[in-house]
A and B are shown apart, each in its own frame.
Chain A
Amino acid sequence: MFVHLQGPYSFLLGRFTLAAIPYNNAIIQFAFAFTAIAALLVIGPVLYFRKIPYLFREWFTTVDHKKIGVMYIILGLVMMLRGFVDGLMIRTQQVMADGPHSPGFLEAAHGYLPPSHFDQIYSSHGTLMIIFAATPILTGLGNIIVPLQIGARDMAFPTLNAISLWLTAVGAALIMVSLFVGDFSAAGWVGLIPLTELDFSPSTGVDYWMWAIQISSVGTTLNAINVIATIVTMRAPGMRWDRLPIFTWTTLSTSIIGLTSFPILGVALALLGADRYLGTHFFTAGMGGNLMLYTNLFWIWGHPEVYFLVLPAFGIISEVIPAFSEKPLFGYITMVAATFAIAGISWTVWLHHFFTMGAGPLVNSFFSVATMVVGIPTGVKVFNWMFTLYRGRLTFATPMLWAVGGLFLLLIGGLTGMMLAIPAINYTVHNSVFVIAHFHCMVLLIVYAAFAAVSFWFPKVFGFRLDETTGKLFFWSFSAGTILVFTAMFGLGFMGETRRLDYLFNTQWWPALVIEEIGIGFYCLSLLMFFVMLFVSIRDRVKNAATADPWGTARTLEWLTHSPVPFYNFAVTPHVNSRDELAWRYANNLASTVPDHFEEIHMPRNTPVPIIIGALAFGFGFGLIWRIWWLTALSLLGIIAVVIYRSFARDKGYHLSAEVMTQLEREPPLGVVSESQYLSEPPLGASGARPLGHAGAH
């Protein structure tokens, strides 16, 4: 239909045939075994302990922003694990395939990965890490923390929030399926044009990449709308704009970026889809198409996306450093100004991703200077953090280590970024691994901030702290890996090594490649440490049980309620008196005030609608990828029907009376408890923590 497809086609199965399953590939067999064992390890106990009804009731149908956030983060961590394995395979291939005499294993001429396989791996590494690891983890953190920081009960649109999550999960699921059914894109995470056109990528790989991103980015856009609405309309009394915590500020700016930039990606991918499915010529070289149009559109989204990720990371660092310096953040107003300056400028720099396109020197100069201007507010942020440390009382708990480690990465990333911003320098290193090392510094800054956030807020969500000793071992082994891999990679950039090479023709690069591989060894060690940390932390959870403020020096509103946070967040909506509310209450001896009365509160009810929409979206995407039109049409009709049904539902949520609240707060729930559990059985256990809440302001 419309375009010429290579290979067989049938109405029932579309392009799918049994040959699409690479069952005879040793690496895929191994990956399948690994995934199957991991899945059994998760699903087995769930079945054995008959937890499916629990999972469905408590998690899959939840609209609780904290649980949705936790699921976002788990999804992101799992995808990060797969992205890391991709990175490990890339590094191992390159160190094995250097020089014409390097041996070949399995079916490869050099190394162990033939190009068609290697190209899929580097493409999925980038796609997974940016869109399915970093984005969900930061979205999840925003989901958990923002409503708590502003004293809200939930997000503005709880059901929409769950829909966002499941759409993101569908994208990730499609990429996992591409591992075993068909292939993945071999044209880079950016979708190198015109390589992604049907003539040059005839298999379903690019379709997997395209629809996975397309579906998940709908989720991300909806989430951005939700976050903006939440922050603008649902702040607790007294939470004036000049008291908004920095993390909430950065999440707001990031959501504005997300709302305005993700639709551009959607359009770019839709036009590419038109080329691939309808035979149009938007981005082809011939017939009036313009391939640089795609590149422009992609980076008009792609560059703001970088700040979409890095701004919340800056927000996290801005929360962690004051908490462990026992001082307010230096220069709050300049920090907010710098955040929005970065967000604004992020719109005007996209062309620096392709200075080598051949644009005129004035165009390149404009984008060069615009890019450098980003360095001003970013520099301001670094100075602010530096002066927050000055005359502080620093303690180096794990979150603080990650935050300070991130600062050094930002300095190196900034130095190399200012080099790349100058076209004359960029011409020599564009598309070399120098660029890879630079943006990995920035992306690792995001990862460092994410780990800082996970260890910082973990006790708030789960009620116990992560183990410090193994947490620090995790940090140091991870940092050793970072230093080794990326120092060597900067060197390789100056040696002229370019990106995405399956086979390396220059044996002078080999020593540095070996250093990178050793660094990967440290990353593997850190992965082990991560799991040990989880195991030790869960084993010692009673010993490490958290109070409302487990760090003792936290400053913002979210630390005022119980750990773990009950499903209604705050028993009584707190009145905010200060920028660092908890620090203010400590200073005024109000942090442990029992509210003088409870009020009836209103909560949203769980619903299976989001996960049903997710399942239908999976069918929609899978049908499009394999061109199984009946499946696509049925899924789309199903989605429309469910949305219409939901629009007419008269579910207004439910109320918890003041008496119920009194009882709940007398025996605060232990462990992650939600409304359905409460409604079906009485609250469990009791903790020593006393209810906090309505204080001051009288």
Chain B
Amino acid sequence: MKFRSLLFLAIIPLLSGCSADTFRLFNPVGAVGSVEWRFTVIDVGVMLLIILPTTVMIAVFVWRYRKSRNAEYDPSWSHSLGLELMMWGIPFLTVIFLGYASYRSTMLVNPYNPAAINYTDPANPPLQVDVITTDWQWVFIYPSLGIATVDDLVVPAGRPIKFWLTSTSVTNDFYIPEVAPMIDVMPGMRTMDGFQVNHPGHYEGFSADFSGAGFSWMQFSTRILAKPDFDKWVAATQGSPNQLSYAAFTKLAEPTVNVGAKPAYFSHADAGLFMQVYNAARAGTVYAIPEQLNIVTSPVDYTQVKNGTN
């Protein structure tokens, strides 16, 4: 991009910066996201009931009691029992209300078992997806379908999705802004998350917790497909020639920057691959970072040199 166009574009934010879909968190989709947005609005609304009058009063006092205006001056007034009781009491009541709202919403969106999603409906059982982060890619395994992908999360609309998450190396954070709240992805530990979205859509997911030099390139696409489209996609993936055994996985888990989050598909993934990775991490398996990766100029270059591409 030329420098002159950079300058010109500086005025664009005023014109285009405010389009609605830019603010992803204002447009949540799915059961969990909409609960979170509802409580955001409640919390901000209640807080503004206190913050706005306070802001206005400070501004008014600052303007009104300037020395030059010769307004009323009371040099000894520094105590008022009624006011002081009020200034403890109002925040106290607010915290009681918001504390309840917090408890309520935390139960509703608890990532391990969100009350906002019905996991127990036999007519619509949850789809389990195992998520493993490596340095620096996402591996999605569908144990019930026997397939796996890299950097491409594809799920059916209308069905509850249940995630198990772990990492081979360091901590990441699973995040799809409109759809899935953040949850840490840690080596040697298993966390859970879930969502349910009833309409097809395409969203961008990425790691939210810094995980080293390739972190900025750690995106995955999130495609929510209508049931027939999802079934077609599963069938196509099951025809892929690639297979993901544990041995193949250990190669995949070597430090790699996947520029552009190019997806890969596997027609077969080892049963229990998730638990194998989890147990290996607990037993001390690490995918160490070579020192030159911290010192060489760019991990992108490093990966390309290592893979013989470029």
Contact = CB atoms under 8 A, between A and B. Distances in A.
A228 interface: no
A423 B13 contact: no
Interface string B1-34: 1000000011011001100001111101000010
Given A361-B106, A423-B105, A418 B9 contact: no
B134 interface: no
Contacts of B99: 368-369, 372
Interface string B256-300: 000010000000000000000000011111101111011111111
Contacts of B62: 389, 394, 404
B47 A514 contact: no
A287 B285 CA distance: 9
A9 to B, nearest CB: 13
B12 A511 contact: yes
A541 B293 CA distance: 54
Contacts of A380: 87-88, 91
Contacts of B294: 116, 183, 186, 201-203, 205
B129 interface: no
Interface stretch (A188-196, A236-244, A596-604): A188-196
A334 B84 contact: yes
Contacts of B217: 503, 505
B248 interface: no
Interface in A238-294: 281, 284-287, 289, 291-292
Contacts of B48: 415
A393 B91 contact: no
A119 interface: yes
Contacts of B229: none
A415 B44 contact: yes
Contacts of B152: none
B145 interface: no
A356 B260 contact: no
Interface residues of B, number: 118
Nearest to A373: B95
Interface centre among A109, A292, A364, A427 (most CB of B within 10 A): A427
Contacts of B219: 505
Interface in A329-371: 329-332, 334, 354, 356-358, 360-361, 364-365, 368-369
Contacts of A102: 1
A193 B171 contact: yes
B197 interface: no
A152 B54 CA distance: 38
Interface stretch (B120-128, B153-161, B179-187, B239-247): B179-187
A696 interface: no
B212 A194 contact: no
A562 interface: no
Interface string B193-219: 000000000001011111111111101
B36 A496 contact: no
Contacts of B260: 100
Nearest to B17: A511
Nearest to B191: A358
Contacts of B25: 428-429, 493-496
B73 A392 contact: yes
Nearest to A202: B291
A431 B208 contact: yes
Contacts of B88: 334, 376, 380
A286 B167 CA distance: 12
A6 B95 contact: no
Interface string A112-149: 00111001000000000000000000000000000000
Contacts of A327: 74-78
A386 B57 CA distance: 8
B130 to A, nearest CB: 15
A433 B5 CA distance: 26
Nearest to B103: A365
Contacts of B47: 414-415, 418-419
Interface string B25-67: 1101000010111011001100110110011011001100111
Contacts of A432: 208
A515 to B, nearest CB: 6
Given A369-B99, A503-B216, A419 B44 contact: yes
A676 interface: no
A376 B91 contact: yes
Interface residues of A, number: 114
A276 B303 CA distance: 26
A423 B104 CA distance: 10
B252 interface: no
B67 A501 contact: no
Nearest to B284: A286
A164 B300 CA distance: 44
Interface string A45-89: 000000000000000000000000000000000000000000000
Contact of B299 (A116, A396, A404, A518): A116
A156 to B, nearest CB: 31
B192 A358 contact: yes
Contacts of B66: 394-396
B208 A422 contact: no
Contacts of A532: none
A542 interface: no
A372 B187 CA distance: 31
Contacts of A205: 294
A500 interface: yes
A109 B291 contact: no
A501 B215 contact: yes
B51 A365 contact: no
A419 B216 contact: no
A325 interface: yes
Contacts of B301: 109
A81 B16 CA distance: 35
B106 A364 contact: yes
A320 to B, nearest CB: 14
B102 A107 contact: no
A409 to B, nearest CB: 12
Contact of A427 (B9, B10, B111, B178): B111
Nearest to A325: B65
Contacts of B225: none
B201 to A, nearest CB: 15
A428 B177 contact: yes
A508 to B, nearest CB: 5
A200 B289 contact: yes
Given A285-B282, A331-B87, A503-B216, 17 more contacts: A107-B297, A116-B213, A199-B289, A201-B294, A354-B184, A356-B181, A368-B106, A372-B102, A384-B87, A415-B44, A422-B43, A423-B109, A431-B182, A432-B208, A500-B210, A503-B217, A504-B216
16 contacts: A116-B296, A192-B209, A199-B286, A199-B288, A200-B169, A200-B212, A202-B289, A330-B77, A358-B111, A358-B112, A358-B191, A360-B112, A361-B106, A379-B50, A390-B65, A505-B206
